[in-house]
Amino acid sequence: MKKYSLRFTLLSTLDLGAGNYLLRLTLPLHEGIFPEMAPGQFVQVAVPGGYVLLRRPISICSVFAEQRELWLLVGRVGQGTSVLTNLRDGSELSLLLPLGNTFSTEGIKNPLLIGGGVGIAPMLFLARSFAERGIRPTILLGGRTKEHVVLRDYFETLGNTHYTTDSGELGVHGRVTDHPILHEGTFDQIYTCGPKVMMLAVAKMAEARGISCEVSLENTMACGIGACLCCVEDLEGKGNTCVCTEGPVFDSRLIKKN
């Protein structure tokens, strides 16, 4: 898939709580064609201001091609994400996109999507793409508290949505792997994105039940295009592999569990 370097305009930044922000961006007509993007892919965002040199990788959270609109869910963790979530509406943002591979969805009829923290971002795009094909996915979202499980209304319109929270405020008390749906539900594919420890636990359960599972890794990245090797993951049978170009989505069986 061709990569583009484009200047988007920030339409709005919505404070979702718990340090999470939804950035709505639009591509002005003079920037040309709105690129094709698929669930699982990410963008490299240049941080305006010149204090943060490296672009920051952020998953594509939703795309509305007709409106030339792209959504990013950004968790504020350091300087780069602080700048990105404090921009004025109308600011310009330089994005390199679309990067990375995509979730495999061909022939899948009964998917389970599991997201934790800002790892729910690619799950919204994935849920939307299933819904557009007439498939209502099962969705399981986990967070520390109710406030940490964001964009719930959007997920609920797209799929049968379940929750877990560490605090017990919303859904099942505990982690996503404590939810009965993961133990009892019949699915032909599980997709997961979130903290690595969560993805490994989900992957182990999926593999034990014989359900195919894809994980989306969020390894630290610099270039995002396969040039610096700082994102490598040591995969089963493949050795060191660039997550930015070969991933970020991998079959869970390739991920070393220890």
Ligand X SMILES: Cc1cc2nc3c(=O)[nH]c(=O)nc-3n(C[C@H](O)[C@H](O)[C@H](O)COP(=O)(O)OP(=O)(O)OC[C@H]3O[C@@H](n4cnc5c(N)ncnc54)[C@H](O)[C@@H]3O)c2cc1C
Determine the residue type at 118: V
Given strand 213-216, what is the order of strands in its sheet?
A: 172-173, 160-165, 138-143, 111-116, 189-193, 213-216, 249-251
**59 annotated ligand-binding residue:** yes
> Which residues in this chain contact ligand X in the complex, by CB under 6 A?
42, 52, 56-59, 73-75, 77-81, 118, 121, 218-221, 248
Determine the residue type at 81: T
- Which of residues 111 and 248 has its CB atom nearest to ligand X in the complex? 248
> How many angstroms separate the CA atoms of 102 and 41, rounded?
6
84: its two tokens: 């990105």
Q: Could you tell me the CA-to-CA distances from 146 to 33, 138, 151, 164 in Å, in that order?
A: 39, 19, 11, 9
Select from ligand FES, ligand X, none the partner in contact with residue 218, using the beta carbon and a kind-dependent cut-off of 5 to 8 Å.
ligand X
235 interacts with ligand FES by CB under 6 A: no
Query: Which residues, in sequence order, are bridge partners of residue 172?
Result: 164
> Quick one: which segment of 20-28, 137-145, 189-197, 217-225 binds ligand FES (CB under 6 A)?
217-225
> Quick one: which segment of 109-117, 161-169, 221-229, 250-258 binds ligand FES (CB under 6 A)?
221-229
200: its two tokens: 């490994």
- Which of residues 93 and 223 has its CB atom nearest to ligand FES in the complex? 223
Residues of each annotated binding site: 56-59, 80-81, 223, 228, 231, 244
Name the residues that contact ligand FES, by CB under 6 A.
Answer: 221-224, 226-231, 242, 244
